[in-house]
A and B are shown apart, each in its own frame.
Chain A
Amino acid sequence: MADERPAVKIRIEDLAVRYSDGTESLHGITLDIYAHQVNVLFGPSGGGKSTLLRTLNRLNDLADVASQQGRVLLDGEDILAADYDIIQLRRRLGIVFARPVPLPMSVYENITYGLTLAGIKDREQLDSAVERALLQAALWDEVADRLTESAYALSGGQQQRLCLARSLALQPEVIMLDEPTSGLDPISTFKVEQTLQQLKKDYTILIVPHSVQQAARIADWAAFFLQGELVEWGSGHELFTAPQDTRTEQYITGRFG
């Protein structure tokens, strides 16, 4: 593997997660997420990728998790510690889900909502945050004159980019995306992928793509998950051209999945 590696943003050490019904779990995951890179988690469904994302921003706290072991270090701090400030953590790690979930309010309010919760009330500050977030999510041109409309009036692709903008407005350090383009047409998908390449200058991107092809297109770093196990990880280029493990090779060449 390559010698010069970027700075580590998140270090996952020997993480194991088990749900009480035993459906989807992770075991022995040790993985680095690099700052200002597109980090891709891929593999067939049921592999534990979403579980990993939900563990990172501790949304799994609400789910039926039976046991959780190991450490997750965000800039060196263990975020799984019981006394870690979860609200703060979730503002540092934004997430975009597979299905766009606009809040039941206007486009503008969708973006400012998280900010007002964080204590920002100044109108000008909010206005500029909305514009910046929408520009970053490549949505500004389409909705600049529709900010007061209900977010549900937007198309699916626009809603998804709105959710991205909503996360970006909070200026998180890491953007996590869980199959963000699974419900989108190719043009919208292309826009989102292009956006990610822009965003990695300012953010750390952690994405579960919805296909191997997408994984190969966008990955700076890639990790292959199979049934709760991290089979291998490395630079996207190496992993998709010269995988070490035969299972990785079989999966990316379409032998199973």
Chain B
Amino acid sequence: MSLDVNPAGRPPDNGLGSEPTEPYRLVALEARRRHVGLGEILVERAIQVTGISAILLVLLIFVFLVREGLPTFADVPFGDLVTQRWYPIEGYYGLLPLIAGSLLITIGAATIALPLGVATAIFIAEIIPNWGREILKPFVEVLAGIPSVVIGFLGMVVISPLFRRSLNIPTGLTAFTGMVLLAWMALPTVVSVVEDVLDTVPKTYRDAGLALGMTQWQTIAKIVLPAGKSGILTALMLGVGRAIGETMTVMMVTGNAPRIPQHPFDVFMPARTMTATIAAEMGEVARGSTHYHVLFAVGLTLFLITFVVNLAAASIVFQRTRRSERMLS
């Protein structure tokens, strides 16, 4: 087997490597095929089972949500669900303030997180030298690991008093406080995804830009970012997914008043999200009551919204692979 792939007499360092020759690889393949034994089959089956169970779990969750949520529509007329008053003790089950609260805070958080995240990612991927990158990246990752209750706690004792005093508003527990904290939580996701995307933009693109007499900033803005556009959209979707599902932090800092914002300034008023409602009320609700079923209907709504967001993100990602395939051909 010890074929001398670099026989004496050849000039040294001529650029020819010592790649294994074709027959070697064929032999290796043959050997692999013969060794498919019991262990192999067991491992393959185990992987299959875990893979399928993941899909099954999602389906079961959905089925459960539907089963527990559907009676809502028998108990409460649909017209009553799309009203503006959420006051379950008196029998008012208007979902609109909760949906409005969730959407407002999510969109707000995404609006704050995206520019900050993209800017951070550009800084890490394009501008800062290597040593700085190695310090900054772990910090961003640590940020992702902070439990939401800790962030909520910080929000309650630090951020919200700060907002109350500096903005001179009755309470610091507002939709805006929630947006800022959620943006902070979504930031690591946005930064990592965008940074990965910027990394995949070929170096030749940057060279091409610079060679045309563009400055570094023009190259980033006009070539690197457009080339990574789909990845930035994916980051946005993932950030939105993270924000809309977040419960603990928003429950702690948004004040939990179920009202529909009427005025732009209402961002600085309390709001209540779907997630916070479920978390706050599920513990003290009578099992099987109308309120119980309505909370599941809220969960179902949330599930559908995140499903659509994830679907949108996935379709963008698939689009990207298709385009890169086209570019390679």
A contact set with B: CB distance below 8 Å:
44-46, 57, 59, 62, 87-88, 90-91, 94-95, 97, 99, 101, 103-105, 113-114, 117-118, 152, 163, 166-167, 170, 227, 256-257
Q: Knowing A97-B207, A99-B204 are in contact, say whether A170-B223 is a contact too (CB < 8 A).
A: no
Given contacts A101-B208, A103-B222, A117-B212, 5 further A-B contacts (CB under 8 A): A62-B206, A101-B205, A103-B205, A117-B218, A257-B14
Q: Shortest CB–CB separation between residue B17 and chain A, in angstroms? A: 12
The verdict on A113 contacting B11 (CB below 8 Å), with A97-B207, A103-B223 known, is no
| B51 at the A interface (CB under 8 A) | no
- With A97-B208, A101-B204, A163-B208 known to touch, is A45 a contact of B15 (CB < 8 Å)? yes
Do residues A57 and B327 form an inter-chain contact, with CB atoms below 8 A? no
User: Known contacts A103-B223, A104-B223, A117-B218: does B212 contact A170 (CB below 8 Å)?
Assistant: yes
| Residues on B with beta carbons closer than 8 Å to the beta carbon of A46 | 15
| Interface contact tally, CB-CB below 8 A | 63
Q: Which of A91, A163, A257 contacts B213 (CB 8 A)?
A: A91
Which residues in A have their C-beta under 8 angstroms from that of B206?
62
CA distance A57 to B14 in the complex (A): 28
Interface residues of B in 11-48 (CB under 8 A from A): 11, 13-15
Of A44, A45, A90, A163, most buried by chain B (CB within 10 Å of CB) is A90
Q: Could you say which residues of chain B place their CB within 8 Å of the CB of A87?
A: 213-215
Q: Mind listing 24 A-B residue pairs with CB under 8 Å?
A: A44-B15, A46-B15, A59-B210, A59-B211, A62-B210, A87-B215, A88-B213, A90-B210, A90-B211, A90-B212, A97-B207, A99-B204, A101-B204, A103-B209, A113-B222, A114-B213, A114-B214, A117-B212, A117-B213, A117-B214, A170-B213, A227-B13, A256-B11, A256-B14
For the complex, give the distance between the alpha carbons of A120 and B327 in Å: 31
- The chain A residue with its CB closest to the CB of B204 is A101
- 0/1 per residue, B212-249, Cβ < 8 Å to A? 11110010001100110000000000000000000000
Residue of B13, B209, B210 with most chain A CB atoms under a 10 A cut-off: B210
Contact of B211 among A88, A95, A105 (CB under 8 A): A95
The interface on chain B, measured as residues whose beta carbon lies within 8 A of the other chain's beta carbons, has a size of: 24
Query: What separation, in Å, do the CA atoms of A105 and B223 have in the docked complex?
Result: 9
What is the CB-to-nearest-CB distance from B258 to chain A, in angstroms, rounded to a whole number? 46
With the chains together, A95 CA to B222 CA distance in Å? 19
Cross-chain contact B327 with A152 (CB below 8 angstroms) = yes
Please list the 4 inter-chain residue pairs (A to B) with the smallest Cβ-Cβ separation, ordered nearest first. A101-B208, A91-B213, A114-B212, A90-B213
List residues of chain B with CB within 8 A of the CB of A59. Answer: 207, 210-211
Known A-B contacts A101-B208, A152-B327; the reply to A44 vs B223 at CB < 8 A is: no
User: How distant is A20 from chain B, measured CB to nearest CB, in Å?
Assistant: 11
Chain B residues with CB under 8 A of A62: 206, 210
- Are B204 and A57 neighbours in the complex by a CB distance under 8 Å? no
Q: How far is the CA of A106 from the CA of B206 in the complex (A)?
A: 18
> Which residue of the partner chain B has the closest CB to A257?
B14
Q: Assess the A118–B327 pair: CB atoms within 8 A.
A: no
A91 cross-chain contacts in B, Cβ below 8 A: 212-213
- The residue in chain B whose Cβ has the minimal distance to the Cβ of A64 is B130
Q: Which residue of B lies closest to A115 (CB)?
A: B212
Contacts of A113 in B (CB 8 A): 212, 222
The docked-state distance in angstroms from the alpha carbon of A167 to that of B206 is: 15
> A166 and B207: CB pair below 8 A?
no
Report if B326 contacts A (CB, 8 A): yes
Contact A44 B204 (CB under 8 A): no
A104 to B224, CA, bound (A): 9
Give CA–CA (A141, B223) in the complex, Å: 27
Nearest CB of chain B from residue A213's CB, rounded to whole Å: 18
Once A59-B210, A104-B227 are accepted as A-B contacts, the answer to whether A44 and B326 lie under 8 Å apart by CB is no
> For residue B208, which residues in chain A have a CB less than 8 angstroms away from its CB?
97, 101, 103, 163
B residues near A104, Cβ cutoff 8 Å: 223, 226-227
**Smallest beta-carbon distance B203→chain A, Å:** 9
User: CB-nearest residue of chain B relative to A152?
Assistant: B327
Q: How far is the CA of A105 from the CA of B210 in the complex (A)?
A: 17
State in angstroms the CA–CA spacing of A62 and B204 once bound together.
12
What CA separation (Å) do A57 and B222 show in the bound complex? Answer: 21
Q: Which residues of B contact A117 (CB under 8 A)?
A: 212-214, 218
CB distance from A104 to the nearest CB of B (A): 5
Q: Contacts of A256 on B, CB cut-off 8 Å? A: 11, 14
Q: Return chain A residues, CB-CB under 8 Å to B226.
A: 104-105
Min CB distance B231 to A, Å, is: 13
Contacts of B13 in A (CB 8 A): 227
Docked pose: A167 CA to B209 CA in angstroms: 11
B129 CB to closest chain A CB (Å) equals 11
Residue among B15, B227, B327 with max Cβ neighbours from chain A (10 Å): B15
Q: Contacts of B11 on A, CB cut-off 8 Å? A: 256
In the complex, A94 Cα to B202 Cα: how many Å?
Answer: 20
| CB nearest neighbor in B for A176 | B211
Q: How far is the CB of B200 from chain A (nearest CB, A)?
A: 14
| Complex-state Cα separation, A3 to B206, whole angstroms | 42
Closest chain-A Cβ to B276's Cβ sits at a distance in Å of: 42
Residue of chain A at shortest CB distance from B227 = A104
CA distance A99 to B14 in the complex (A): 24
